[in-house]
Amino acid sequence: MNEMFPAVRMRRLRKLKLIRETLLSTDDLILPLFIDENIEGKNKKPISSMPGQYRFSIEGAVKEVLEARSMGIKSVLLFGIPEQASKDEKGSEAFNKEGVIQRAVRRIKKDVENVVIITDLCLCEYTSHGHCGLVENGSVLNDPTLEVLGKIAVSQAEAGADIVAPSGMMDGMVKAIREKLDEESFSEIAIMSYAAKYNSALYGPFREAADSGYKFGDRSSYQLDFSNAREALREVELDIKEGADIVMVKPAIFHLDIISKVRARFDVPLAAYNVSGEYSMITAASEKGYLNREEVMMEGLTAIKRAGADLIITYFAKEVARVLEQE
Ligand code: PBG
Ligand code: ZN
């Protein structure tokens, strides 16, 4: 029995649209960018699995970051695509001082003021087999990979990255990277850890975008089973203990419950990754006329923030900035 009715009517205020508990802001957004060493000059190349998204040359990326900055976006997350021939078993190009990401970071630092540069820290774009770690007899090795991750972190920090973002879900990766950075006097460089990263089919479009698909097996030995929530919380807890400055849940919209649980349990800054598959689903459905792109985008991203994310990594970042500007 509802004794409050008819005294209380929820519609009264709703129609005034005065109360909005959650407001997206450009401050929340991180724009992911793909920087492809194989592209010359100022060119960019469309990514067919993600209509509206591009791979940029280094020059092109500088232009894109300037534009994002002018729209109020404060931070970018950079993925590198090295020259095809440079990929090897060990992903050594990932820590080359003259590698695509290292050069791109130096250029962006030089040409763009006040942008927070986050670098993806993983092996999969640089290994010939496409896995996120070193491989032996068909399995991905955890501990030997840690040393390589440390080297990549240092090379990215040297180039000028503000935050490194290890995405390979290796056990102990945050600790190994923190130690290595500190040893090399990069104690000011922050770590944003992909702490709870599910083994998700929603990364499909990204693998074409970043040329990071794997040649055999899958990523289930290192990424989380999507059936598990408590395990995700343990992953987050461990990364915090290892020294993560920001923890991430990924994918975002499919795993809002995890965002909300992490928010409730831990007080560290929390990022959520609105992944390629989430972007491409909305894009495809709106192209078919099944739903309204802008409305679904705003609903999805607002839900991510409402669930408790402080930062949202999204390919929609520039579009959201445009919508917010109109409001
Ligand atoms: C690889 C990586 C992936 C994404 C970010 N870093 C894919 C994967 O684990 O296979 C996915 C991002 C997206 O789908 O937008 N370390
Ligand atoms: Zn990887």
**Domains of the chain and any CATH numbers:** 21-326 (3.20.20.70)
Q: pLDDT per residue over 2-43, tens digit each?
A: 899 999 999 999 999 999 999 999 999 999 999 999 999 989
Ligand 1 pocket, residue 126 CB under 6 Å:
no
Query: Which active-site residues does the annotation give?
Result: 197, 250
Tell me, what DSSP letter sits at residue 225?
P
pLDDT band of residue 327 (cuts 50, 70, 90) is: confident
Find the DSSP H helices in 50-172: 58-70, 100-111, 143-159
Cα distance between residue 233 and residue 149, in whole Å: 23
- Report the alpha-carbon distance of residue 59 to residue 69 in Å, rounded: 16
Q: Does ligand 1 lie within 6 Å of residue 54's CB atom? A: no
Among 320, 324, 319, 313, smallest CA distance to 76 is for 313
Which residue's alpha carbon is at the smallest distance from atom 14 of ligand 1?
A: 203
pLDDT at 77 over 80: yes
pLDDT on residue 54:
98
List, for residues 40-72, the tens digit of each pLDDT value: 998 999 999 999 999 999 999 999 999 999 999
**Which among 100, 89, 93 is positioned nearest to 61, based on CA atoms?**
100
Give the residue whose CA is nearest to atom 11 of ligand 1: 203
Q: What is the pLDDT of residues 269-279, one digit of tens each?
A: 999 999 999 99
Instruction: Work out the mean pLDDT of the chain and round it to a whole number.
Output: 97
pLDDT cut 90: percent of the chain above it: 96
Angle between helices 276-287 and 293-307 (to 10 degrees): 150
Q: Which of 198, 275, 314 to mutate to test the pocket of ligand 1 (most atoms within 8 A of CB)?
A: 275
The finding on whether 314 has its CB within 6 A of some atom of ligand 1 is: no
